A and B are shown apart, each in its own frame.
Chain A
Amino acid sequence: MLPRRFTNLLLTYWLTSCCVFCFLSAAALSEDLEVWIGESKRTIHSQQRENQTLYPLEDFAEIVGLELLEIGDLLTVEGPRGKLQLVDGRPLVSFEAEYILLSAPAWKRDSNDWYVSEDFLTWALPLVINRRLDKVSEKRYRLQGLPENQVQVSVNNFPDHVRVVFQSSRNSPIRVREFETYIQIAFDELLVQPEFPAISPDRRLVSSVDFDSSNVYGTFHIHKGDLYYNFREFTLTDPDRKVIDVYGQPSMSDWRPDTQPASPERPTFGASTPFPQPNIGGETPAPSQQTLQTLITIDPGHGGKDFGVNSPQGIVEKSVTLRVAMRIEDLLTEMGHRGILTRTRDVQLAVEQRGSVGNHYSSQVYLSIHVGGSPSPETRGPVVYLHKYLEDEEPLVMDTNQEAASFFPRRLMAPLRLPVENKDELVSWDEGQEQYLGISRELAELLQGELNLLWGVENRVAEIPLAVLAPVTAPAVLIEMGFLTNAADHDKLSSREFQEQIAQAITSAVLAFLAKNPAE
């Protein structure tokens, strides 16, 4: 019995050792990298050096097609899009006068036998290759073949605007976004090969057009000049072209040709007075993107340190408002209008900044997006708020019209009201909304109706002195999309699908409002 038990024990010990060995070997092997090209797999074996895992650079060079040129301790790695330089024993890669810090120094074992850490593959290599390298999982990469897209940029200087046309050789999605100092034209799916024009743009409107290759596909930037006022975009097909017209400030009246109407107003976005139709190559643009008719400012409430309403489950107002506002902007753009967001990321803005964005762009509609909170958990549903000027019940003593002064609160008195027809008259900051209260109510009722329908409630529009709306010289409302303090509303507001529905409801109410009140 005893020898047999001893044998069993030995066998178990041996088996366990085998398992441990297999496990340790597998762990050691897992340091190897896998690069997938289509269905074929290439394995890059790791080397251990001073507790660092390094990989032979020659293997990378072979897979992605790089040329290695060694001069002493310096190695130049040349790819289709540029050169990288490495020095033996230093954790730095130089690329166009910039340095990328690696987690481990490059190591030269022998002549033409260099080793680099894994982050060389993630950070440095994509800069010089013309194919996309995606990290699929730990130690696994996929090399995507990226077809090239030749994008020809042309510039035309017109008397009142600069036209920049991007003509691409292949059809790829394009997204145009406006930033403070430039307009970004981002291409997707295909690797952009830019071809620049011989004509330079008028520097007063467009200081430069340049190409940024730091992202995977490539992005163009139209840098705004000193007299930049606004822009509009449209798409032409066959061949595919994206056209950006950059307009100058109204003061550039000397720019306007005699054939233009004599009125000194800036280019308007009104449906009744559309832009002169562009006519490049004789075609007219696709009807859906013909004109960007109207500017709508969307203000996602709170942001940065100001979280707004917090729910115990971790939903915060500032994130919900930003998400919905960005969707509204997208939906409006799809309908041929132009949305301006007061913030596009998680930053805190002063209340004055929020209002001034709407006024700066002379927007036709101003929406401030918020979420409600209440001490009573049963309060639910959407509420649309209008601005209300607090009335001073003590009459203002005036030398003339004293009788009227004793009857009417100060703000209702005719001499103090702003004449609507004379828009050039100076208006104090907080009184901007005063002449728009009536039309704001119309917008509010439409929005309240749409949102009530979505929630199945019968909430009513409310009037409150709101600092964000007070200065806005346009129909302006503040929307509280339900209450985060109510359980049912909380579930709704945290679902992406419902956020999409809210954005759609708000957009359709705004479109209905614009249909009834076309811009002047």
Chain B
Amino acid sequence: MKRQRSILSSGMDSLRKEHQTILIALGLVFLVIIIAYSFYAVERQHQEALREAEENRLDVEASALEAQSSGQLSVQLYFYQPGVMAPYPDLLISEKRSIFLTEDIILNARQIVHEVIKGPTVLEGLQIFSEAAKLRQVYLLEDGTALVDLSQEVIYPLIGGVAAELSALYSITRSLTENLEEIKRIRFLIEGQERATLAGHVSIREPFM
């Protein structure tokens, strides 16, 4: 037995590797904690954005309800049509919905944009906008140009690609210009700024109509 032990102890040098193993194990645990935390942080940020978007929508609805003058206004909303590569206004599909009718055009316009961002109800799953997308404000100029100021989250859409981007722009444009005759054309702003594109492809320097 003694001899066997002495043989074993000659390999003890290599047991220092155990320390390495412990260190590696600790490192892995640390790494797992970091990864888990970053997932948690991203998810929390996303939830926060969703909550803000929802609050923003409810705010508009509440103000509209308060300012409601004569019942409800039936509006025709436009959405992306599956399979269309260049979704121009005439290639969108429409859906009827109602909003609170108020004297304030801006409030009406904001309700319409919120409904468009929510996506279609008839064709579920064909949602273009991110759930966290937020309408910051709508401004109306004297010449009938409406400035639609969208939040940063709108440029990280769920899908990406030219067709999705163009349909996002035209669904807002057509829904607004057709339902509110005071609005002639739309200019898009992101976080209050003029940008070259909405999400990397379609130019938003020119007004849409």
Interface residues of A (CB under 8 A from B): 13-14, 17, 20-21, 24-25, 27-28, 48, 51, 301-302, 306, 308-310, 317, 350-352, 370-376, 378-379, 383, 385, 389-390, 392-394, 430, 459-460, 462-468, 470, 478, 480, 483, 485
Contacts and interface: CB of A to CB of B under 8 A. Distances in A.
A373 to B, nearest CB: 3
B196 A351 contact: yes
A466 B166 CA distance: 10
B207 A390 contact: yes
Nearest to B10: A21
A24 B166 CA distance: 66
Interface residues of B, number: 39
Contacts of B112: none
Interface string B152-191: 0000001111111010000000000000000010000000
A352 B196 contact: yes
B8 interface: yes
A430 B4 contact: no
B13 A375 contact: no
Interface stretch (B25-33, B45-53, B68-76, B197-205): B197-205
A389 B209 CA distance: 12
A48 B13 contact: yes
A463 B202 CA distance: 11
B16 A51 contact: yes
Interface stretch (B35-43, B77-85, B132-140): B77-85
A27 B17 contact: yes
B145 to A, nearest CB: 11
B85 A462 contact: yes
Which of the listed residues B10, B85, B159, B196 has the most CB atoms from chain A within 10 Å of its own CB?
B85
Contacts of B158: 375
B117 to A, nearest CB: 14
Contacts of B17: 27
A385 B163 CA distance: 10
Nearest to B15: A24
27 contacts: A13-B4, A28-B14, A350-B196, A372-B163, A373-B159, A373-B160, A373-B161, A375-B125, A375-B127, A375-B128, A375-B158, A375-B159, A376-B80, A376-B82, A383-B162, A392-B207, A394-B184, A430-B203, A462-B162, A464-B86, A466-B162, A467-B202, A467-B204, A478-B201, A483-B161, A485-B159, A485-B161
